[in-house]
Structure 1
Amino acid sequence: MTVKITPTEIGIKKAVEVKESNKNIRATWELQKMMTKLSIDQVQVGDSPEDFEKVIDMMLDVQTKTINYIVNTLGLDDKQAAKVDEMEFNDTMTFAVRISSELLHIEAQPADEKETGLEA
């Protein structure tokens, strides 16, 4: 099966067919896992310079992997990939979540603090 995703975020008005292949679903689960780990690790960061460096390294890794996820999953060419690279970070994350949600056939909703277990 395939899912039709219209990447209007990068100016594409025609739907792109994305296969629900093991490769794409596995990449989607990896993206979800990475985003969850980022959320948890950001809350648990300490005050040392080393802790802040770890968070920055993690953010760089997340940013790179998120861009690669979008480009690879949608099969974008170099010109389209450059548009993704020019997006704002939060927009890029939202775009990746939309793609992953459509591939997994789920509706993405932001979780509140109680649902995430981060309630004070």
Structure 2
Amino acid sequence: MKVLDSDTCIGILRGRTEVLARRAAEQDEVVTTWITASELFYGAAKSVQPEANAALVVQFLNTLPVLIPDLASARLFGEVKARLASDGRIVADADLFIAAIALSHGATLMTMNRRHYERIQGLAIENWLRA
């Protein structure tokens, strides 16, 4: 399973050739999270064409499952946040929620922001802009 982060979704929505090609060739199930969906709607709402962009977001999100939190991801969120805090490392809660959901599903996170996630132990990360 591959979990799309916001930046990868935006790459698809903007028609980035490299991202579209990797998405089309992907054999694993491709999903996203409710957090990413929220971030996409936020971006649409603050854009010059909020209604049109929100419609594009809805159209895109209707093409893939959107994962919601469960007790397993909630527990992982708490454990990972505590571990990072004890090491003096901070990761934004939204990124931690996305990572916890990916971890709880044994999935690979598709992101272009490696530095946001590389401190999270056990999280598999891939970037569809790089081979």
| Larger relative contact order (CA 8 Å, sep ≥ 6) | 2
Calculate the TM-score normalised by the size of structure 2. Answer: 0.27
Looking at secondary structure, tell me which structure has more strand per residue. 2
Higher helix share: 1
